[in-house]
Structure 1
């Protein structure tokens, strides 16, 4: 979080108006170079994607221009949509964040301030597939963000996605070209693991049986190393 706050005042609007750019910040204490991919529209609003730490999660930030009097309503999180894909409602992240805190987890998933919101977008491990929302942004043409006002109503603000793939790839350390065959393979493996979890629930006759089944699922996931056939052979033997 501190990383993004340091960056909020550093965006160069004149450069971002033509498309997405990569901005770097070197930590004076550690010499660590931190990068973010960002775009700023003609209103001065911005959309940013960055890693919170080397190899860590990838987060997004939507920020309103300081020149505007508008503020993001704390009750109704923004919604954003890439081209004709399904909209992404940050209410889901807000609810998950509240649930995690209720359970005693100190980690953040959604963070609100009057002028901006931060939100988790991807766990950050390319070996487990890139989050579909990130793929949409990298391959899309236009991003629309709808933010609600505390006084009622909402406004839409639009961002170009020109140059987003190269900028995001450099900022978070992934390929600018998405391997869709690999994405499908990873998703198929995830689906197989979910089906195994459902099977554990269906076959449950006691809590001890359920725990044993889930432990087997975990063992098979590790053994399979993303190979769906190895996983199925292990779990359903």
Structure 2
């Protein structure tokens, strides 16, 4: 199962007087208490009846203390004219149809905010999730996936399978975007597409293998990055259990920040 991740940094470093912050660390207990006060309401049938949070708990991500919770947000299916009877006469009324969806969020002691969706349909709620966290009093900065980060992954020598060049400007060439795949096991023959467009476009996507946990499987994990929406995709099925998956998420984000 693919997981869609988005990473942010909270503004606690710029606001040391924020009551959630202490000694340059996020006060997780204070944040947890506030999340519990904002739990999403549930109706008698178990369906959500409003936005908020649920299943809030303290966890460890690698060596990092964190809060894990579900964030419930409202999404709209659009407005429709529905038939109804009023005063024994047929009429129509414009009504909005909406539904509630969930995402998994992490708030770490290092002021990292991570949002995780189970599929591309759920990730439409990203702006609503950010709004829920901002209502707590936080601002946040997006972790951007940019051309230089993708090139640094290649320079670092991680095995990579596929990539995309975007915004190509090359005299005499009408190509504006090109996606291509390579055989990572073939280290002798360079990618002709990479050579042809490297100086003429921005890299906007890469699929690569990141070494992880050499003592036991999985020894490396396939990660896909997109500059579009700053999306990170990992296959959760590559891990033996949920805890290893969570540990890798923090390890990955730390590695990507180093490569920036």
Structure having the higher Rg: 2
Task: Give the TM-score category using the shorter length.
Answer: under 0.3
TM-score, normalising length: structure 2: 0.22
Higher helix share: 1
Higher strand share: 2
TM-score, normalising length: structure 1: 0.23
